[in-house]
Amino acid sequence: MDSLIPFTTSGSLVDCVDRKMLVVLRDGRKLQGVLRSYDQFANLVLEDTVERIYHQDVFAELKRGLFLIRGENVVLLGEIDLDQEDDVPLRQVDWAVLEPYHRQEIIDKKHRDEAKAQILYERKGFCKEGGEGDGY
């Protein structure tokens, strides 16, 4: 077993404070910022947040500032390695250029997921999502 995650107290975010973190929200947004504080609901305070959108081998960034994110909307939190964060094999472009492509991608994904859910429901009896509309 490679990673032996040491358990200090119960799982907490104390080791993530004051570090640059990637937060993925349930609507599919990817935010990067410095985690300043959290609480028992995993509500997060993110400073100097940047929102990034991706499309194929291109990405775009938009500065967003100080965020208070309600914990239930967070999918995951990941620490960003400051040494490697600039090594991404992607090209940066302007937000305004990439945004239409990103929006179209979201619409396409939504159609695909709906079609999938419908087929699973009809053929296999899987229940459809209760309108949470998770976009990630």
At closest approach, how far in Å is the CB of 51 from another protein?
A: 11
d(CA 111, CA 131): 14
Report the site for another protein in 11-40 (rule: CB under 8 A): 25, 27, 36-39
- Asked if residue 55 binds another protein (CB under 8 A), the reply is no
At closest approach, how far in Å is the CB of 14 from another protein?
A: 13
- Asked if residue 45 binds another protein (CB under 8 A), the reply is yes
| Half-sphere exposure at residue 126, Cβ-oriented, CA atoms within 13 angstroms | 12
DSSP H or E stretch at residue 22: strand 20-25
At closest approach, how far in Å is the CB of 47 from another protein?
A: 6
At closest approach, how far in Å is the CB of 58 from another protein?
A: 23
- How many residues contact another protein, by CB under 8 A? 19
- Asked if residue 64 binds another protein (CB under 8 A), the reply is yes
- Asked if residue 104 binds another protein (CB under 8 A), the reply is no
Q: Nearest 5 degrees, angle CA 32-CA 38-CA 41?
A: 110
And the tokens for 89?
Answer: 């094999």
Four-CA torsion 21, 7, 39, 25, nearest 10 degrees: 40
Indicate the residue among 91 and 111 with the shorter CB distance to another protein. Answer: 111
Backbone angles phi, psi at 14, to 5 degrees: -60, -30
Site of interaction with another protein (CB under 8 A): 25, 27, 36-39, 43-45, 47-48, 64-70, 73
